[in-house]
Amino acid sequence: MSFVRNRLPAIVTLVIVIAFGLFGGLLATRVGLLTVPSAIGAPYGLPGLRVVPLGETGWLTWADSVAALVLVLVVYRSVRGFWGTWGAFVLGSLVAGLLRAVVLSQVAGAGFGGYLGYLVGGLIAGLLWGIALGWLPALASLPRRTAGRLPAGLDSMG
């Protein structure tokens, strides 16, 4: 039980990236403004953890899944409080955005200017999604109180 309680922010992050893997395409088509970053090469959201490829993307799915696992790993390694976990989520989403940008620029065969554009787009998208969703794992990192116990684990009755 303590493993789940101590690593709850990483579990919440894993649920988020699985949700982006399952429903990310639906999210991008339903919210039209999310397709605008994709039009300029920036990712439309956080990387999704998928088991099967989406369409004919092939190994791009694996690159997206690796970026999602990097995000989960960065949050897993964070053992700080609310703000530290939020910062770890933002950092993980920045790193995931950079990984996705590198892969997308290689697939597109972009030149130096395009490569820089992909990197900037990946950084901005990662930063925005990290700030927007980082509070969810951060809430999971808040300490819990148990009734009738002191923080040291001693019984309050004596």
Structural domain spans, the chain: 2-140
Q: Where is mean pLDDT largest: 33-37, 120-124, 130-134, 148-152?
A: 130-134
Q: Each residue of 5-44: pLDDT tens digit? A: 668 899 999 999 988 888 776 766 666 665 555 665 566 6
Whether 117 contacts 123, CB under 8 Å:
no
Q: Give the per-residue pLDDT at 111.
A: 82
- Mean residue pLDDT of the chain comes to 78
Q: Furthest-apart CA pair in the chain: how many Å? A: 71
Q: Give the per-residue pLDDT at 70.
A: 93
Q: Give the per-residue pLDDT at 60.
A: 67
3-state secondary structure of 10: helix
Residue count of the chain: 158
Proportion of the chain above pLDDT 90, given as a percent: 27
Q: Each residue of 83-94: pLDDT tens digit? A: 999 999 999 999
The whole-number average pLDDT for the span 108-129 is 84
What is the reported pTM?
0.78
Tokens read off for 105: 């620029």
- State the DSSP string of 59-122: HHHHHHHHHHHHHHHHHHH--S-HHHHHHHHHHHHHHHHHHHHHHHHHHHT--HHHHHHHHHHH
Q: Where is mean pLDDT largest: 44-48, 59-63, 124-128, 141-145?
A: 124-128
Q: Give the per-residue pLDDT at 110.
A: 77
